[in-house]
Amino acid sequence: MDLAHYVDHTLLKAEASKSDIEQLCREATELNFYAVCVNPIWIGECVKRLEKTSVRVATVVGFPLGCNTLSSKSHETKDAVSLGADEIDMVINLGALKSGDWSLVEKDISAVVQASEGRPVKVILETAALQRDEIIHACRCSESAGAAFVKTSTGFGCGGATVEAVTLMKETIGDRLRIKASGGIRDLETMKKMISAGANRIGTSSAYKFLRQETATPGSY
């Protein structure tokens, strides 16, 4: 199993500097991670640094609260695409979701999907803030709106990924959508548990450290 290829190597801290982004790209290239995931201001820098590699560039939309208007999220997405982003991680409209306004939830996702021009859209559900039925409905809305992934968490909310949430997401969407587990994944054991539960992608800022240790150990996986 190529564990590195599951990883979206993530740096979304507001205080991240250009040198931090340069290091992120070096690490992603060294271990051949699937993608880096950065704030929109760093898309161009990452595209430039990863141009001759297979590492993709993912960015965030409506981050981290999801409370932006449809037109705002659509514009953010179009801007990200114009800058060279390969994938879009958007935060679901949590206020609409908690209000049971599923039509607005779906329209919100659909606006980003349309603006992404075919690039994969990952819908961040913030599962720690949701009840079981809300996670199920959010997954179904994501599927109806044409998203490629459902994703557990921003990493900035009230909790991160759990095996229980990933399992429920998998039970709801099967193989029709993919799942990204993110938030609080800081070691190899947790990463493997998420993959076993159904995650197709792992968002973490810690993978370079723990996977580098693994690859340095002959026969470790």
| Segment 132-143, tens digit of pLDDT | 999 999 999 999
Active site residue 78: no
With 0-12 CB in 10 A as exposed, 13-18 as middle and 19+ as buried, what is 29?
A: middle
Q: What is the pLDDT of residue 216?
A: 58
Active site residue 79: no
Encode pLDDT of 164-187 as tens digits: 999 999 999 999 999 999 999 999
Q: Exactly one of 8, 73, 86, 151 is catalytic; name it.
A: 151
89 is catalytic: yes
**Annotated catalytic residue, options 89, 108, 122, 170:** 89
Over the stretch 63-99, which tens digit does the pLDDT of each residue have?
A: 999 999 999 999 999 999 999 999 999 999 999 999 9
Its pTM stands at: 0.95
Q: Is the pLDDT of residue 207 over 90?
A: yes
What is the arithmetic mean of pLDDT over 104-121?
A: 98
pLDDT in tens, 183-204: 999 999 999 999 999 999 999 9
Selected from 1.10.1380.10, 3.90.1150.10, 3.40.50.620, 3.20.20.70, the CATH number assigned to the domain covering 3-215 reads 3.20.20.70
